[in-house]
Amino acid sequence: MPDKTLLLVEDEPDLVDLLSFSLEQASYRVESALTGEDGLQAARRLHPDLILLDLMLPGMDGLEVCRNLRHTPELRDTPVIMLTARNAEQDIVRGLEIGADDYIAKPFSTPVLLARIKAVLRRAADGAEPKRVIEAGGVRLDADRHEVQADGETVSLTATEFKLLTLLVARPGRVFTRQQIIDTLHEGFAAVTDRSVDVQVVGLRRKLGASGARIETVRGVGYRFRA
């Protein structure tokens, strides 16, 4: 029996049929909606475990749907993966800033889609309780001791670098925009630029040695940590 319910909000019927078949073969229960308005109603009715949300929808677009989800108390923590056109960088950034958990650019393969769904569901489960010690990709971060080890070696980080690494490692695979990083590091008050974030990332990569390569640049969007 399927133990996870996915809601697919997509306006192309052929793609809905194809994705629904593939997801059901992977033991997910799938419900679908062809418009943003119907997608919101379905989400409120189903309380799905994850929503696959196309951005280019008739009427209410995917960004507005995502914004509504994040302002609905019972749905604000529901994981959302955006399905986007390949060149919609600004929409991707806006979607992530609104609260989407990840994005997949069309066209995409079924194995990639399934892997991303599993990763987002796993992150959602892991994020249910805050962790004081995080281990991912050769990096061990102890929040109570304010200590970091990379490949078994202790690494000395500044307070800003530690906060940046915590943000990325706590949710491996999630893409964070530069603005989200700025808001986290400086709580929205310091006058910093995207370039400031890039400089911090360069320094952090250098200090982490081989593990630093796991901090990946997502072109036009931001950064993520690959576990």
Return per-residue pLDDT of the chain as tens, 227 residues: 567 999 999 999 999 999 999 999 999 999 999 999 999 999 999 999 999 999 999 899 999 999 999 999 899 889 999 998 866 788 888 889 888 999 998 888 999 999 999 989 988 876 655 567 888 888 999 988 889 999 999 999 988 899 899 999 988 888 999 888 888 877 544 555 677 888 899 999 999 999 999 999 998 889 999 87
**Distance in angstroms (rounded) separating the CA atoms of residues 24 and 5:** 10
**Distance in angstroms (rounded) separating the CA atoms of residues 62 and 86:** 15
Contact by Cβ (8 Å): 184, 190: no
Per the DSSP assignment, residues forming a β-bridge with 82 are 53, 103
**Distance in angstroms (rounded) separating the CA atoms of residues 190 and 200:** 15
On whether both 170 and 208 belong to a single domain, the answer is yes
Query: Which of 126, 154, 182 represents a domain boundary (last residue)?
Result: 126
pLDDT reported for residue 189: 44
pTM over 0.85: no
Q: What is the SS3 assignment for 37?
A: helix
Nearest to 34 by CA among 65, 9, 51, 66: 9
Nearest to 136 by CA among 174, 181, 100: 174
How many separate helices (H) and strands (E) can be counted in the chain?
8, 12
Query: Which of 126, 161, 177 represents a domain boundary (last residue)?
Result: 126
CATH number at residue 73: 3.40.50.2300
On whether both 102 and 185 belong to a single domain, the answer is no
Domain count, the chain: 2
